[in-house]
Amino acid sequence: MSRIIVFCGPPGAGKGTQAQKVSEEYGLKHLSTGEMLRAEIASGSELGQQVDALLKQGNLVPDEMVLEMIRGCVTQAECSVCGERKVCERGVVLDGFPRTLEQAKALDEMLARNDSKIEHVISLEVAEDVLIERIEQRIRESGDAIRSDDSEEVLKNRVRVYQEQTAPILPYYEEQGLLRRIDGMQPIDDVTKAIGTVLGKVKVA
Ligand code: AMP
């Protein structure tokens, strides 16, 4: 696998948008654990119902569950997630994973077993008051398409969960020299440009 790019940032930082752009521009597979979990919920499975309850509260799902979901893709084993093995081989953009130190360490081990490693960890940084305003705006604008984990109470819990459980992965990656902090409060196109500067100009056709 050529490139493994990790996106992290608090809810509302725009990581989904930016991860999607990077995956299109560089020809990498976009893997969003949040989307995979929402697909599980939509399938109506029993597991989906348990996942739904956690997402509705803004809490994380257990580490082992997400590790199982992405294991196939990042190890180039038979991919049970998307079936697009060719795209995965070029590399992946991990959006919303890892979200705990345990997940980060497990990912490193998985990659090391395959002689692979993370190339960059892009951290989109946004001040907390700006985050809350962004999500409130998303709620106002989205009408009946509001995500069940977008209510203000849940959002505040998600920000807290981010600070307590996810933010500790930043120093972990900083120590490894992988962390690239990007100001996520800039206009979207400027954030995209800043990410492009980190990733370089070589794009996969
Ligand atoms: P996202 O779409 O990335 O904002 O994720 C939506 C929700 O899915 C999160 O608030 C968590 O409840 C859950 N989730 C997504 N990724 C993970 C992960 N790596 N570990 C645990 N829970 C996750």
Tens digit of pLDDT for each residue in 105-158?
A: 999 998 888 788 999 999 999 998 888 887 778 777 766 555 666 677 888 899
CA 142 to chain centre: 22
State yes or no: pLDDT of 205 exceeds 90: no
State yes or no: pLDDT of 96 exceeds 80: yes
State yes or no: pLDDT of 80 exceeds 50: no
**Axis crossing angle, helix 152-161 with helix 46-57, rounded to the nearest 10:** 90
Strand, coil or helix: what is 95? strand
Distance 60 CA to ligand 1 centre (A): 6
Report the atom number in ligand 1 closest to the C-alpha of 58. Answer: 10
Distance 34 CA to ligand 1 centre (A): 4
Between 183 and 152, name the one with better pLDDT.
183
What pLDDT is stored for residue 150 in this prediction?
66
What pLDDT is stored for residue 144 in this prediction?
56
**Closest Cα to atom 23 of ligand 1:** 60
Counting ligand 1 atoms within 8 A of each CB, the residue from 17, 55, 101, 121 with the most, and so the one to mutate, is 55
Measured between alpha carbons, how far is 162 from 151 in angstroms, rounded to an integer?
A: 16
Residues with CB under 6 A from ligand 1: 11, 32-34, 37, 54-55, 58-61, 66, 96-99, 103, 149, 158
Would you name the residues annotated as active-site residues?
15, 99, 138, 147, 158
CA 131 to chain centre: 16
Measured between alpha carbons, how far is 174 from 101 in angstroms, rounded to an integer?
A: 13
